[in-house]
Structure 1
Amino acid sequence: MMQAIHAERYLELVRRFADGQAAGAPVEVTLDELAQALFCTVRNAKLILRRMEEEGWIQWQPGRGRGNRSHLAFRMEPDVLLLDMAKQTASQGSYKQAFELIHRHGGGTPAKERFNEWLTGHFGYRSETEDGRRHVDMLRLPVHVPLVTMDPAQVYYAFDAHMIRQLFDRLVSFDAASGQVKPALAHAWECSRDATVWQFHLRRGAYFHHGHELTADDVAYTLERLREGKANSWLLRNVEAIEVSGPRLVTVTLAKPNRIFHRFLCSTAASILPRDPVQRDPEHYWLRPSGTGPFMVKERNEDRLVLDAHPGYYGGRAHLDGVVIALVPPDQGLDSQQCWERLVLDHDAKEQGREHGWPKLESLLQGCMLMTWNRNKPGPQQSQLFRKAIDLLLDRSLMLGELGENRMFAARSFRPDAHTALRHVRSDGEQAMALLREAAYDGTPFMLYTRRWHERDARWIQARCAEFGVGVEVRVFEGNECRGEDVLEAADAILYSLVFAEDEVCEIETYEQQGSFMNAHMEPALLEWAKSRIDLAVAAESVEQRRFLLQEMEDRLRDETQVIFLLHKKSNTSYKPELRGIALSPLGWIDFKDVWVQSGLGDAPLV
């Protein structure tokens, strides 16, 4: 750490006194000038210079006598030192500091590009020696999105949800491939004939990371905690009572029938917490939360999240020993494409050039990118004619062609279906202009809010609207800032993406979740109508009835242009052939538990 500080001082001195000069060329300078540049006393400046001399970075010739200037020669090439310090800092896990070093001192130099090349080799799968004794299999992944929360009850974002699923389990799990609910912490369950009473039987031998065995008391506490005042309390909106009916039996009584209540409990938000540590010291608990999942938190700071395999996991120990999530600032470090397309590559020098022949795994995300209009504040968006005009002028095909990358298809609904690839969403500029005139649009711009990940899309929308005389002011937010009430109330529209991990339940969540953009922007009458249709849908006795009611809700959103469905996206990764167990979750992330490495046989046939 101290060496990195001295390196920054060296780079600052080069910038101030020798910018553009050849390495080793002496420059005239006084100790007073050096102290001023280093923001320290003359005495400390001398100590710093001595340390730099010991490192071999400089040659210092102090002036003799009053008025004689000293000579300072910079022997180390700034780019070389910067790159070495950034590598060393990142190798120690201080990713944020490494990126800041490159960002501050690497402008106009090849250092950033070379650092990115080095990072590509740093990330991926590695078998390492720990404490000089044992080999451990680690997966290092760079991630541009921030980790906002690890509290399941407060989760909004796909990355948070994915990480929570590595640490916690739910009573039951939803298998998207088969469309079936499967056992997890509950090995069995049943409901009453009218679907108002549900019982869950807990398995034996499921332990939290801190060693406590799961009990019905933990489950009841988790559900009661989720029930009131949380972002995801909507899951238990119709719950009347939660009872501990035995050491491993929990009974939930509902006010209204819900035939897919077990599907609700597959949600990330229903992940089970240990009662005692959460109640005893919640602030300390959330620094390193303990769950029953396949991985447990070893370290967590602003630079990285380090996970260790949970050795006593009831579902079988993970093949990996650990995972390191490097939290990469979005405007520094790796290109965003590298974070996904190259996230599990092993870039040893001997492997360079093989990447193009490696397997690729692509998944069309179950969800879409959309805009929701705020119908609870004054502005041009209050006119349905205006909203319809914006829908018509946003040419999805043009957007796909100009922005590309992981944008795949035009969207007309929340989820892609079998006909998505063939579907064309109508665009009509002339009709859009006619609707704007009919709406008596006076040129007032609307405020479009989004997070950084969608800024390119927002700027495209801004430019496209400008072609038709519609002003758009784009405001970009970081992290969870856009969830604040002041932001939700101030935005005329919000551009974001939805990813459905649990299909119909996630669809319901978009209407009901407190603080969700759609929930905040729907006018009260429309929101109450949506909730009444949801109650009918979950009470329906057939899948077809339920889908009809949910589709009816989506159709009304489209008819009233409450939302503008824009694009469907894909998630993808390339991986070394030796890696096995690579699968993308419904959230678009790699599930860590089943990743393993095939070694020993290479390409030899099995006999």
Structure 2
Amino acid sequence: MEVIEHYIQLRKAFPNADEEEEIHTTIGELAEHLCCTMRNMNLIMNKFMNHGWINWSPQRGRGRKSVLVFYLPLLQAAQERFDQLLQGNKLEDAYVLASTMPFSMREMLMQGLQGQFGLRSDQDARGRIDTLRIPQETPFETLDPTQAAMWGEVGIIAEVFDRLVQYNAERQVCEPSLAVAWESNQEGTVWTFYLHKGIRFHHGKILDAEDVRYTFERILSAQESPCRPLFDSIHRIETLDELTVRFALRFSNYMFPDLMSSMSASILPRDMELDPMHPMGTGPYRLTRNHPKLLVLDVFPSYFRGRAYIDRVEIWQLPQSGLVESIIKRDLFPDGQARSVQHEVQGGVYMTFNMRKEGPQQDLYFRQAVQQLMDPQEMVEALARTSVQAAYSLVRDESREQWMTELTDKNEHSEQNEPMDRPEQFEHDHLFLLQASKPRPEPSADSSLARASKLLQRSCYAGQIMEVWVEEGEKMEADMAWFAQRCELIGLKVHVMPGNPVNAVYHDEFSSCDLIYTGEVFDEHLTLSLLTMYTFQNTLLLIALDDQRKRELENECRHVVMIRDTTERLRTLLLLENRLIQEALLLPAYSFREEHAHHASLQDYRVRAFGMPDLRRLWVKRSPVTDEGTGSYPAYIPLW
């Protein structure tokens, strides 16, 4: 242990003492605080005095008190050691040091840790090693693809595993991945997939058709598997040979290849039981360490699509920090050489209700009153945030507009040829969606509050305190502070309870709450994302929904996968969302965007749906003047 670490250890033992204040203590107590023998304690104390950090007048004999005076403040000592560790690239030791400090000091040190994120290029005996460090604030509960529901978890799963099919967001089509090709019968009830040859799992096993069968039989055999409804069309799985697998379905499913691109459809090896915190896949990165504060992904050199450029990815667990983002970016990029990447998040923040609990939330009038109180435009204007936009759907406006254009073109084409097969209510629903895709007029606070008050009076609400669970975090908690003020104006009593989304998803944290305020992030495949939201049982919307409504959603989604036309599928899912909004079971608040900033040397920096750089594309263009041994390329990556 370095001498300054001994000093920090001793200084923390006297937290209430000021610098230059005399402290009366025994030699035995000092040895105990330093966790060493009397002899070593004397050596250490003399080193402290040689550095000018303390003054010490030892008094020997049983019960006799020595006089100790500190001169070096704890924060200054911790900062000095912290900086030494960072300079030596000992990020983990720096993190441990910071985490042992009192709260205010810990926050200051952790802010300094932000500057360590991005890409670091080091030269050692193995050659050049490029390491990308990413911060994240939500702990990992599981990396089982059939269970994981948190953004960060899904981001890791995307790198560790592959699926039979991958979705190309730029072309908006499904493309081969582990499967080189697939085909189906005319009715969409039998699907056959042909696998690539020679694909290796991280532990060396060659992928074959039995691994595919094992993966999906594992899902179907677990009645409580949250992703089981997504694959409930599967009746039987056959392996025709080592590279061919056939799925026989219970009913037509024209979305089956899309479902095979779902994270839940990640292929597992059959020769080993899945460890949910240390999974084994075929992806470009293998998980080599998973500690509560650090998860490490190392490149998989034998990846069948070619070795990834980045050698190592470190995901660091950081506490939430109140540091303003612009200050972080200024500190990271003092020369102004950052390049920004705007990431428009598909999905958004919303409120729903705990329909598994008795209470006023079972009353439509009550839910509609809350809907008026949660007016998106008024919230966004009141909170004055530039990175958010009022939303009346979890689907971004441009996506709706694109779909409406496609639908209009299709309708015109259908009128010239043959009628389109569609429900009788199509014209009404079409009009409703046209209206929903446009910004609503801005209501005054008085009008929305007046409507909320009238609806509340018509409801069964009787003055009880309603518990509001909110996903913890500065912004969303501020949203609910604004909401609570609005509630008070019309006599609705609420108590806001911030909570960890991990505990809410996996440990039923909000079962006693009445209202839930959270968010949903979709990936690039919008139709599949909506379908997953309504069928994957670990989404917060479904955790809060009663069994009858969940069954109704599952039945609706079963109808969706039987639709051959892709545009019609999305239309049906958007109508389903609108129905939830009309029933005031889903109250969209706003959509948001994230801004990544990165050094100009990081090339092809693209953000994936879950807020992580696309590791399969990212590479480094080192400057000719970069030091031969080490290069540092900072990146500001918003906390997950």
TM-score by length of 1: 0.87
Distance 1:35 1:3, change over 3 A: closer
Aligned residue number for residue 361 of structure 1? 341
Query: Is the 2:363–2:460 Cα contact (8 Å) retained in structure 1?
Result: no
Q: Deviations over 1:49-90 (max 9, x none)?
A: 543433544443212667864232335332221113444567
Report which stretch shifted further, 203-212 or 441-450: 441-450
Distance 1:60 1:188, change over 3 A: same
Q: How does 1:437-586 map to 2 (within 5 A)?
A: 437-453=457-473, 454-478=476-500, 480-484=502-506, 486-487=508-509, 489-501=511-523, 502-586=525-609
Mapped pair 1:172 → 2:165? yes
* Residue 118 of structure 1: how far off its partner (Å): 3.2
Amino acid aligned to 2:166: S
In 2, distance between residues paired with 1:95 and 1:181? Answer: 44
Q: Deviations over 1:526-566 (max 9, x none)?
A: 33332222122111121233233222211211111111111
* Residue 494 of structure 1: how far off its partner (Å): 1.5
Query: Is the 1:367–1:416 Cα contact (8 Å) retained in structure 2?
Result: yes
Q: Secondary structure at the match of 1:554?
A: helix
Query: Is the 1:206–1:214 Cα contact (8 Å) retained in structure 2?
Result: yes
* Residue 13 of structure 1: how far off its partner (Å): 4.1
In 2, distance between residues paired with 1:389 and 1:509? Answer: 29
Q: Secondary structure at the match of 1:275?
A: coil
* Residue 257 of structure 1: how far off its partner (Å): 0.7
Report which stretch shifted further, 253-262 or 513-522: 513-522
Query: Is the 1:346–1:576 Cα contact (8 Å) retained in structure 2?
Result: no
Aligned residue number for residue 263 of structure 2? 268
Distance 1:112 1:568, change over 3 A: closer
Distance 1:438 1:39, change over 3 A: farther
Mapped pair 1:411 → 2:391? yes
Q: Secondary structure at the match of 1:151?
A: coil
TM-score by length of 2: 0.82
* Residue 373 of structure 1: how far off its partner (Å): 1.3
* Residue 573 of structure 1: how far off its partner (Å): 0.2
* Residue 230 of structure 1: how far off its partner (Å): 1.6
* Residue 215 of structure 1: how far off its partner (Å): 0.9
Report the RMSD for the aligned CA atoms in angstroms.
3.0
Out of 59, 63, 71, the position equivalent to 2:59 is 63
In 2, distance between residues paired with 1:49 and 1:302? Answer: 37
* Residue 184 of structure 1: how far off its partner (Å): 0.6
Q: Secondary structure at the match of 1:361?
A: strand
* Residue 233 of structure 1: how far off its partner (Å): 1.5
Query: Is the 1:139–1:324 Cα contact (8 Å) retained in structure 2?
Result: yes
Distance 1:277 1:95, change over 3 A: farther
Q: Deviations over 1:367-419 (max 9, x none)?
A: 11111112232111111111111111223233223445574211111211226
Out of 229, 233, 248, the position equivalent to 1:238 is 233
Distance 1:555 1:426, change over 3 A: farther
Amino acid aligned to 2:296: V
Q: Secondary structure at the match of 1:199?
A: strand
Q: How does 1:274-285 map to 2 (within 5 A)?
A: 274-278=269-273, 282=274, 285=275
Distance 1:276 1:338, change over 3 A: farther
Query: Is the 1:448–1:495 Cα contact (8 Å) retained in structure 2?
Result: yes
Amino acid aligned to 2:159: Q
Q: How does 1:95-174 map to 2 (within 5 A)?
A: 97-104=96-103, 106-107=104-105, 112-113=107-108, 115-116=109-110, 118-130=112-124, 132=125, 134-174=127-167
* Residue 500 of structure 1: how far off its partner (Å): 1.2
Distance 1:67 1:159, change over 3 A: closer
Q: Deviations over 1:402-437 (max 9, x none)?
A: 445574211111211226996137651111111111
Query: Is the 2:8–2:74 Cα contact (8 Å) retained in structure 1?
Result: no
Aligned residue number for residue 401 of structure 1? 381
* Residue 190 of structure 1: how far off its partner (Å): 0.7
Amino acid aligned to 2:242: P
Aligned residues: 575
Aligned residue number for residue 404 of structure 2? none
Report which stretch shifted further, 569-578 or 72-81: 72-81
In 1, distance between residues paired with 2:510 and 2:69? Answer: 56
Distance 1:485 1:588, change over 3 A: closer
* Residue 289 of structure 1: how far off its partner (Å): 2.2
Aligned residue number for residue 429 of structure 2? none
Report which stretch shifted further, 288-297 or 54-63: 54-63
Query: Is the 1:165–1:268 Cα contact (8 Å) retained in structure 2?
Result: yes
Aligned residue number for residue 323 of structure 1? 313
Amino acid aligned to 1:181: C
Query: Is the 2:144–2:277 Cα contact (8 Å) retained in structure 1?
Result: no
Q: Deviations over 1:494-532 (max 9, x none)?
A: 111111113112211222122333223334443333222
Q: How does 1:368-387 map to 2 (within 5 A)?
A: 368-387=348-367
Amino acid aligned to 2:620: V
Q: Secondary structure at the match of 2:135?
A: strand
Q: How does 1:309-320 map to 2 (within 5 A)?
A: 309-320=299-310
Q: Secondary structure at the match of 1:153?
A: coil
Q: Deviations over 1:245-268 (max 9, x none)?
A: 111111111101110111011111
Aligned residue number for residue 292 of structure 1? 282
Mapped pair 1:84 → 2:80? yes
In 1, distance between residues paired with 2:187 and 2:83? Answer: 62
Aligned residue number for residue 450 of structure 2? 430
In 2, distance between residues paired with 1:270 and 1:462? Answer: 41
In 2, distance between residues paired with 1:363 and 1:559? Answer: 29
Q: Secondary structure at the match of 1:490?
A: coil
* Residue 593 of structure 1: how far off its partner (Å): 2.2
Amino acid aligned to 1:167: V
Aligned residue number for residue 410 of structure 2? none
Query: Is the 1:27–1:72 Cα contact (8 Å) retained in structure 2?
Result: yes
Distance 1:557 1:233, change over 3 A: same
Identity, in percent, stands at 27
Amino acid aligned to 2:352: T
Q: Secondary structure at the match of 2:485?
A: helix
Higher relative contact order, structure no. (Cα contacts within 8 Å, ≥ 6 residues apart): 2
Aligned residue number for residue 215 of structure 1? 208
